[in-house]
Amino acid sequence: MTETFGAEFLVRWLAAVAETVDREADRLTELDSAIGDADHGANLKRGFAAVTETLAKEPPVTPGAVLTTAGRHLISTVGGASGPLYGTLLRRAGKALGEEETIGRVRLAEALEAGVAAVAQLGGAQVGDKTMLDSLVPGVEGLRTSFGAARAAADEGAVGTVPLRARKGRASYLGERSVGHQDPGATSSALLFSTLAETAGAEGVS
């Protein structure tokens, strides 16, 4: 087991995200068609595929550069609300890491926390609005404890959006009718943490 990691770890994480999003695209789109506009899966699939391709071609040398490059590509390729929001999450997290060459789990949690704060500001949302923040905020908090805790907390947060009434984004038009559906953004956000836990497990990082 090791407690620190570098740029390659984050490249492998984002490649795993791309694979998972590709596998789960239909489910995300299905969730989005219930309370949104049925494009979440296809959009994220396109975005993370572009990210993986770029990172494989020219792998950045620092963890911060991996995240800022990924964020910029998401902003440039995804569109919709999820492009700027996921792009900002990763870009800000990358900026927070600066030039550090190796980081640990808690440092990654701190950086992602800065990213999550930027997402909240950009979207004007808060926890409980039935958005990606409902799994990002507990996920990042859990990451301070362990990768497994992050995954569990983010999953719980995503499932916890089911009884909520949407107050932001396209689902807010539904009002009460958004209750009873799991938020697609919170669901894809939870995938970030489940793939992070899987990557950490496979690489023996704790």
Partner 1 sequence: MRMLINVPETVVADALRGMAAAHPELTVDVERRVVVRRDAPVAGKVALVSGGGSGHEPLHGGFVGPGMLTAACPGEVFTSPVPDQMVRAAAAVDSGAGVLFVVKNYTGDVLNFEMAAELAEDEGIQVAKVLVDDDVAVTDSLYTAGRRGTGGTLFVEKIAGAAAEEGAPLERVEAIARRVNERSRSFGVALSACTTPAKGSPTFDLPPGELELGVGIHGEPGRERRAMMTSREIADYAVNAVVEDLDPTGPVIALVNGMGGTPLLELYGFNAEVQRVLGERGVPVARTLVGNYVTSLDMAGCSVTLCEVDEELLRLWDAPVQTPALRWGR
- Which span (27-35, 93-101, 104-112, 156-164) binds partner 1, by CB under 8 A? 27-35
Cα distances (Å, whole numbers) of residue 71 to 30, 146, 159, 187, 199: 25, 24, 26, 19, 19
Site for partner 1 (CB under 8 A): which residue of 98, 163, 175, 201?
175
Angle between helices 82-97 and 40-57 (to 10 degrees): 40
Helix or strand run (H / E) with residue 167:
none
Nearer to partner 1, 63 or 123 (CB): 123
Contact between 123 and partner 1 by CB under 8 A: the answer reads yes
Cα distances (Å, whole numbers) of residue 138 to 119, 180, 186: 14, 21, 11
Instruction: Give the position of tokens 């808060």.
Output: 126
Contact between 29 and partner 1 by CB under 8 A: the answer reads yes
Site for partner 1 (CB under 8 A): which residue of 33, 102, 145, 146?
33
Contact between 100 and partner 1 by CB under 8 A: the answer reads no
Minimum distance from residue 10 beta carbon to partner 1 (Å): 23
Site for partner 1 (CB under 8 A): which residue of 82, 182, 187, 195?
82
Minimum distance from residue 70 beta carbon to partner 1 (Å): 15
- Dmax (CA) for the chain in angstroms is 48
Report the distance separating Cα 70 and Cα 57, nearest Å: 13
In the complex, the residues that contact partner 1 under the rule CB under 8 A are 29, 33-34, 37-39, 42-43, 46, 75-85, 122-123, 167-170, 172-175, 177
